A = this chain, B = another copy of it.
């Protein structure tokens, strides 16, 4: 109807479908004459091979599924952009799912991707996920799975993560070197490996400089709403913190805002450091020192790892872990050396 098929060409040229098929793929057993006739006819009638049919034959559809917990989000959209570019380069299509930090939607997404029979899945876990059966099912179905950033500790599979420990260590070290000594850590639930690794980096940086670790300076505060409650409390402490090291740029921006309206100068009285290096770090006043996570690179690395598993180029038996380097980006919310 809409699209012309091999059979149509065969009928029109009085050939068999097999001949036409072979002619199209430049099979040596086809005479140059026939080949030319077929290819010209195909060209003229805009023949397009039906990928669905080939996929059915080969039982492979050249498609990778990706599950992202949030998309209106600087870091994850950056990762997605890296994933997309690399997948396109390698000739894979991308089936896109969005869990929206919702466990139920995450489960549905996995089901969708398995139903679509993708060759592999890239996933970052939702914050509300506590059961891992759906991820296990991916593996049980012999579909390759690579976690990125928010890895699932309950599942044994390849992963690509940010070097959160080093990033935090480096950032806190910078705060100390620029004269801060009472540094607050606004983190996430320790059940998230990301947050836990950063806390360890934070504490190790303090230890290296022989600074005390004050439990009151370490709080869970990973959303804007929490910041509005937690930051004012911390500003009541005596002595007051002279720096905030924050789990993400949004919290850092709000902490800065709250500190400023409480009468503190940034960075003279209080330094603030974020994590991600999103757009907002350039529009706050002062601009926000932060840790770049190299999200684009993470996306590329994750895709390459997944494709190497799919094609069998990556042969390691156990789990492959890739670590993405971070980079401290000093702007104006921390003092200069």
Contact = CB atoms under 8 A, between A and B. Distances in A.
Interface of A: 2-3, 48, 50-53, 55-56, 59, 61, 63, 66, 71-74, 77-78, 80-81, 84-85, 88, 93-98, 100, 105, 108, 112, 114-117, 141-142, 250, 253-254, 257, 260, 279-280, 283-285
B250 A279 contact: yes
B96 A96 contact: yes
A93 B116 contact: yes
B95 A96 contact: yes
B56 A142 contact: no
Contact of A80 (B48, B71, B112, B280): B71
Nearest to A113: B93
Contacts of A257: 283, 285
B48 A56 contact: no
Contacts of A61: 52
Contacts of A59: 52
A280 B61 CA distance: 40
A298 B88 CA distance: 27
Contact of A141 (B2, B66, B74, B260): B2
Given A74-B72, A284-B283, A284-B285, A98 B117 contact: no
B71 A98 contact: no
Given A50-B117, A257-B283, A285-B284, A98 B81 contact: yes
A51 B284 contact: no
Contacts of A71: 77, 80-81, 84
A141 B1 CA distance: 11
Most buried by B among A72, A96, A284: A72
Contacts of A72: 74, 77-78, 81
Copies of this chain? 2
29 contacts: A2-B141, A3-B141, A48-B114, A52-B61, A52-B117, A71-B81, A71-B84, A72-B74, A72-B78, A80-B96, A81-B98, A84-B96, A84-B98, A85-B98, A88-B105, A88-B108, A93-B95, A93-B116, A94-B95, A94-B96, A94-B97, A95-B95, A250-B279, A253-B283, A257-B283, A279-B279, A280-B280, A280-B283, A283-B284
A65 to B, nearest CB: 9
A56 B71 CA distance: 32
Contacts of A66: 96
Contacts of A74: 72
A270 to B, nearest CB: 15
Contact of A56 (B52, B98, B112): B52
A112 B95 CA distance: 13
A84 B56 contact: no
A301 B100 CA distance: 19
B77 A117 contact: no
Most buried by B among A2, A77, A117, A142: A77
A77 B71 CA distance: 6
The 9 closest A-B pairs by CB, nearest first: A253-B283, A96-B96, A285-B285, A84-B98, A72-B77, A52-B56, A94-B96, A2-B142, A280-B283
